[in-house]
Chains A and B, each alone.
Chain A
Amino acid sequence: MSAISVSGVTKRFKDVIAVSNVSFDVKKGEIFSLLGPNGAGKTTLLKIICGILPPDSGEVKVLGINVFENPFEAKRRIGYVPQENIVYDRLSGWENILFYASLYGLSSAQVKERAKEIVERLGLESRIKKHVKTYSGGLRKRLSLAVSLIHNPEVLILDEPTVGLDPSARREFWKIIEDLRRDGITVLMATHYMEEADALSDRVAIINEGKIIALGSPTELKKAFGKLTVIEILIANPKPDIEQILREIIEGPILIKNSEIRIHVKDYESSLPKIVEVLLRNGIRIVQISITEPTLEDVFLKLTGRGLGE
């Protein structure tokens, strides 16, 4: 039995199709990521899976329980951390935990032991009695996770869990998610950070305009990239017309992020000298050139013709 089973789910908001006939299964104990740019339909899909937004058609089951036929039973098995802030500023961390525990019908006595364990695990001990308004972004995220774990869910659903965190807080958060998986919790995560999906996920579903366009492990997806090679060039003086300049000689996908250019080519040995020549001719100073493995973003670029951040 799958931990999460989504079949034929469609959701419309007036004329906009947010999710279009989406189907996938999440196995028990795996970390499954929905990777896609903002507005791809990831959050809508997660809300449907959590039972707070009914789909127009299709079916969602969590641990074999139909989420819309038996919502309370399903919701008891799910821990949901939405993208927005879910902790109350004028309450302490502890009061926040007690509040969310009460929504699951847990008494203070039942919560005490479990809360102590979670607080220790997430490194919140020293701040748990303080008002949340004094917390940093990273601490708030950890507290949000703590309140969503208090009822001991078997499935954890995270929507953009590390948005707004600095790189070190992000890595700490990844470590916590991996620890939870080791405890047997199934994690379904929506993200637009390809490094996050790549580093954490057992499987990734790439979602664009409400549809899943590729699904597999990060390695499988990158293999499906084919025989294309990625040339990564770091430049000193980015210009707005770089893509136009490169289009003189490149037909395939080009991804430009500030001073970093990623170019997909079939034969890098013949393409590279031409690329260097055209860049230098246009006064662009090259800092570093490398031939790299494709990332999930390259996969997304190949499939959609645009980057995850666009």
Chain B
Amino acid sequence: MNWKAVWGIAKKDILYILRDPMTLFWIVIFPAMLVLLSAYIWVQEPQVPTYTTGIYVAGQGNFSKYIIEALNSTEISNKKVFNIVMYDSNESLINDVKKGELSIGVVFPRGFSENITKGFQSQIIVYIYVKHPILAETTKQFIEGYFSYVSKEMGYRKVEYVTEFFKKYSEKIEEYIPTNVTQQFPGNFTELMRAWMIGMVEPLKAIIKEVKPEVLITKPNILGWIVVAVVGVSALFSGLITGASAIVEEKDYGTLHRILASPITGWELLVGKTFGVLFSVLISGVVATLFGAFVGAKVNFNFLEVEDWLAIVMLGLATIFFIGLGLILSIVVKTAKAASGLAMAIAFPMMFTSGIWWPPKEMLPEPLKTLANFNPATLAIDTARAVLVYNEGLDVIAQNMPIILIGTIVVYAIGSLVYKITLQKHVLM
């Protein structure tokens, strides 16, 4: 291997990258933007929008009035949630939902309050405007949660009311209740009835508590989790896009013939080009880390820990894999524009199916989940997160590193073969 030639190619490319404003955008602005936006959007509490809510009450009653008042006064983080507009017909309300003038339409049918007063189940009809599917789904879940809460509250109030009734009028009823039930509340029939009615109102109460890894509880650690992903995504994008333009750009400049006329092998050209692009990805990584530090991200990197260094090596290997993939494109395509378009066409699906942002890998459909298990971006980022964020050890590295290593070797072997074939077929000419 002529290392002087390899270094010469890499050095020339590095100088070119540093002097090209467009490439600088990808390697500096892009990761910086990703970290800043992620820190701003992802780490905030989710924002609940204000819903323009139309209400039509078919038959007046106290309970519908109470619920409308409750809707009107609901606030989250000092922000009003429902902006109420009253309607005098069901049709006009549905029409306005269809036109998108209302986010939500609520209809209280005839007999709504009366049924509640009598102790029967009462229904409420809610229309949701579905234009943005994700927003509509969120709205649906929010409204279901809201009315489920209201329904339970009403149930508990009914329990209190009936309990008061039992206190006054139910001296002899105790005799009709099986003893295995009364044993739980000896001598306190009212409490027994209260417990029984609560069971009716909410037969199953799930108490949900979030258990996060200790290190993820704080905002700096969540930001660290994001920064690792940004470094990985930068490796994916910068590696693929810069790699894809590396050789075809020489063709565009007209310099490729001259390089091919010098005594260097295809390997030396590919390795030199790889080092050049690796440098740009390194800059991206440093930029992401610096901006991460600026927004308060915490990554646990210890200079004395072998696994911390191995996590960095994993990210490096994933980068080399993507550069190799880009270089293959660069050899095959005819123009830099086509190379960059193809690189994008590969990079975006790889990012979306990697499970590193949203949706998480566990929520992907089964075939994509399998793909993600072999996606170097997923493997490298999962490893780096495990080691640098969750403080996990060598086992994750031992599991993921061989896959990336083999993948990278295969990509470069293919690259070298494609280079030889295209050279023989004069496609590079």
Chain A residues with a Cβ under 8 A of chain B: 13, 47, 50-54, 71-73, 75-76, 78, 80-82, 84-88, 90-91, 95, 98-107, 147-148
A100/B262 contact (C-beta < 8 A), A53-B426, A88-B253 known: yes
Expressed in whole angstroms, the minimum distance between the Cβ of A1 and any Cβ of chain B is 21
CB-defined contacts of B11 to chain A, threshold 8 Å: 99, 102
Which B231-268 residues have C-beta < 8 A from chain A? 253-255, 257-264
A103 to B258, CA, bound (A): 10
Expressed in whole angstroms, the minimum distance between the Cβ of A71 and any Cβ of chain B is 7
A86 touches B255 (CB 8 A): yes
Expressed in whole angstroms, the minimum distance between the Cβ of A115 and any Cβ of chain B is 14
Partner of B8 from the list A13, A47, A80, A102 (CB cut-off 8 Å) is: A102
B9 touches A102 (CB 8 A): yes
B15 within 8 A of A: yes
Which partner residue on chain A sits nearest B260 by CB separation?
Answer: A52
CB-defined contacts of A90 to chain B, threshold 8 Å: 15-16, 19-20
A99 to B255, CA, bound (A): 12
A147 to B4, CA, bound (A): 16
Partner of B262 from the list A75, A81, A82, A88 (CB cut-off 8 Å) is: A75
B7 within 8 A of A: yes
With A75-B263, A84-B255, A90-B20 given, name 4 new contacts (CB 8 A).
A47-B257, A72-B263, A90-B16, A102-B9
A106/B4 contact (C-beta < 8 A), A47-B429, A85-B253, A91-B15 known: yes
B424 within 8 A of A: yes
B253 touches A103 (CB 8 A): no
A105/B5 contact (C-beta < 8 A), A53-B426, A80-B261 known: yes
Between B12, B253, B258, B262, the greatest number of chain A beta carbons within 10 A of the residue's beta carbon is seen for B262
- Convert B15-53 into 0s and 1s, putting 1 for each residue whose CB lies closer than 8 angstroms to a CB of A: 110011000000000000000000000000000000000
CB-defined contacts of B5 to chain A, threshold 8 Å: 102-105
A51 to B255, CA, bound (A): 15
B300 within 8 A of A: no
A53 to B11, CA, bound (A): 27
A95 touches B263 (CB 8 A): no
A51 to B258, CA, bound (A): 11
Partner of A107 from the list B4, B12, B255, B262 (CB cut-off 8 Å) is: B4
Expressed in whole angstroms, the minimum distance between the Cβ of B24 and any Cβ of chain A is 12
CB-defined contacts of A50 to chain B, threshold 8 Å: 261
Which partner residue on chain B sits nearest A107 by CB separation?
Answer: B4
Expressed in whole angstroms, the minimum distance between the Cβ of B186 and any Cβ of chain A is 91
A105 to B8, CA, bound (A): 9
Expressed in whole angstroms, the minimum distance between the Cβ of B424 and any Cβ of chain A is 7
B262 touches A95 (CB 8 A): no
A91 touches B16 (CB 8 A): yes
B4 touches A86 (CB 8 A): no
A86 touches B20 (CB 8 A): no
B73 within 8 A of A: no
Between B8, B11, B20, the greatest number of chain A beta carbons within 10 A of the residue's beta carbon is seen for B8
CB-defined contacts of A13 to chain B, threshold 8 Å: 426
CB-defined contacts of B9 to chain A, threshold 8 Å: 99, 102-103
A2 to B375, CA, bound (A): 56
A28 to B206, CA, bound (A): 94
Between A52, A104, A105, A148, the greatest number of chain B beta carbons within 10 A of the residue's beta carbon is seen for A52
Expressed in whole angstroms, the minimum distance between the Cβ of B280 and any Cβ of chain A is 15
Which partner residue on chain B sits nearest A77 by CB separation?
Answer: B263
Expressed in whole angstroms, the minimum distance between the Cβ of B258 and any Cβ of chain A is 4
B89 within 8 A of A: no
B2 within 8 A of A: yes
A86/B254 contact (C-beta < 8 A), A102-B5, A103-B8 known: yes
Partner of A53 from the list B16, B19, B20, B429 (CB cut-off 8 Å) is: B429
CB-defined contacts of B16 to chain A, threshold 8 Å: 88, 90-91
Expressed in whole angstroms, the minimum distance between the Cβ of A149 and any Cβ of chain B is 13
A71/B424 contact (C-beta < 8 A), A84-B257, A88-B255, A105-B2 known: no
Expressed in whole angstroms, the minimum distance between the Cβ of A175 and any Cβ of chain B is 24
B4 touches A102 (CB 8 A): yes
CB-defined contacts of A103 to chain B, threshold 8 Å: 5, 8-9, 259, 262-264
A90 to B20, CA, bound (A): 8
CB-defined contacts of A78 to chain B, threshold 8 Å: 261
A82 touches B4 (CB 8 A): no
Expressed in whole angstroms, the minimum distance between the Cβ of B89 and any Cβ of chain A is 70
B4 touches A52 (CB 8 A): no
Expressed in whole angstroms, the minimum distance between the Cβ of A276 and any Cβ of chain B is 49
A95 to B260, CA, bound (A): 19
A103 to B269, CA, bound (A): 10
26 CB-based A-B contacts, threshold 8 Å: A47-B429, A51-B261, A71-B263, A72-B263, A75-B263, A76-B263, A80-B261, A82-B254, A82-B257, A82-B258, A84-B255, A86-B255, A86-B258, A88-B253, A91-B16, A95-B12, A98-B8, A99-B9, A101-B8, A102-B9, A103-B5, A104-B5, A104-B263, A105-B4, A105-B5, A107-B4
